Amino acid sequence: MAPQSPQWKRVVVKLSGEALQGGQTHGLDGQTVDRIAADLVSAAELGAEIAVVVGGGNFFRGIQGADKGIERARADSIGMLATVMNALAMEHAIEKLGQPARALSAVAMPTLCQAYSRQAALHHLGKGRIVMLAGGTGNPFFTTDTGAALRGAELSCDAIMKATQVDGIYTADPKKDPTATRYDKLTHDEAIAKNLAVMDTAAFALARENRIPIIVFSISEAGAIRAALEGKGRATVVLPA
Ligand SMILES: Nc1ncnc2c1ncn2[C@@H]1O[C@H](COP(=O)(O)OP(=O)(O)OP(=O)(O)O)[C@@H](O)[C@H]1O
Ligand SMILES: O=c1ccn([C@@H]2O[C@H](COP(=O)(O)O)[C@@H](O)[C@H]2O)c(=O)[nH]1
């Protein structure tokens, strides 16, 4: 059988933080972390360069902290720290499988990992390492979805792969509206105009400006990232108009 090849040469995967909690209410579930690490390694074996922007929703989201009275910028700093914990856990889980990985943080933490720079990320990608991008954009009032779109643009990625809790983009949040129906394809313009909240508008707009496709798929099945990279599996694809 002919070897499979990736649809894209270089991708940024936006990995849901919440996915890393598995069946728990928060934090890191070891089995889930290992399963997703194995999926990333298998995807890298297709020959694609893989950068991963990891979320922090399994630990803390700034907006929820702000609702409880924590100053928003401070709450967002806590959220960014949550993404660093996830990136370090994923880096370790990937390396346990014999695949080199590097965590780079947009929030400088020199005793824990290298600081993010475009040059460092490109260097590690070129060496075949899976790069875990922590800290989102490094600024409060943003999300890791926007971080993924930003890194996707500055690292010249061919696609943004949003590995999340739902198997695509729906007419409304399917967790709240059971009558919502799923799109197979959309344009960035349509996603923004319809206010489809699976990603924030800033992320959609940045991807649109840089003409980067977005693939939204569920991370709940083993092998989902590799399948999406091969253009298989259930997903919504957002393409430039
Ligand atoms: N139109 C929509 N189509 C699909 N999902 C939607 C839509 N609107 C809202 N959502 C919700 O968006 C969520 C995904 O976005 P979000 O980035 O908040 O979570 P995540 O991917 O789990 O990342 P993290 O846990 O790191 O914050 C889905 O779980 C879904 O409930
Ligand atoms: O650029 C960024 C990215 C993230 N944050 C904060 O981190 C949390 C967790 O990220 P999620 O995207 O929600 O998974 C987010 O809620 C923000 O509080 C940030 O400040 N800047």
Q: How far is the CA of 204 from the centre of ligand 1 (A)?
A: 13
Q: Please report whether residue 3 resides in a domain.
A: no
Q: Please report whether residue 205 resides in a domain.
A: yes
Q: Please report whether residue 19 resides in a domain.
A: yes
Q: Please report whether residue 115 resides in a domain.
A: yes
Average confidence (pLDDT) over 26-53: 98
Ligand 1 close to Cβ of residue 164 (< 6 A): yes
The model's confidence at residue 196, banded by pLDDT at 50, 70 and 90, is: very high
The model's confidence at residue 6, banded by pLDDT at 50, 70 and 90, is: confident
pLDDT tens-digit profile of 162-179? 999 999 999 999 999 999
Task: Report the SS3 class of residue 152.
Answer: helix
Average confidence (pLDDT) over 36-54: 98
ipTM value of the model?
Answer: 0.96
CATH assignment at residue 226: 3.40.1160.10
Q: Please report whether residue 172 resides in a domain.
A: yes
pLDDT tens-digit profile of 106-126? 999 999 999 999 999 999 999
Buried b (16+ CB within 10 A) or exposed e, 38-64: bbbbbbbebebbbbbbbbbbbbbbbee
Instruction: Look at the block and give the residue holding tokens 């924030």.
Output: 200
Task: Report the SS3 class of residue 172.
Answer: coil
Could you tell me the residue range of the domain that residue 183 belongs to? 10-239
Q: Is the pLDDT of residue 206 over 60?
A: yes
Question: What pLDDT, on a 0 to 100 scale, did the predictor assign at position 1?
Answer: 43
Question: What pLDDT, on a 0 to 100 scale, did the predictor assign at position 2?
Answer: 42
- How many domains does one find in the chain? 1
Q: Please report whether residue 200 resides in a domain.
A: yes
Q: Please report whether residue 78 resides in a domain.
A: yes
CB within 6 Å of ligand 2 — which residues? 17, 55-57, 61-63, 76, 79-80, 82-83, 136-137, 139-140, 142-145, 147
pTM here?
0.97
Average confidence (pLDDT) over 177-189: 98
Q: Please report whether residue 79 resides in a domain.
A: yes
Q: What is the CA radius of gyration of the chain?
A: 17
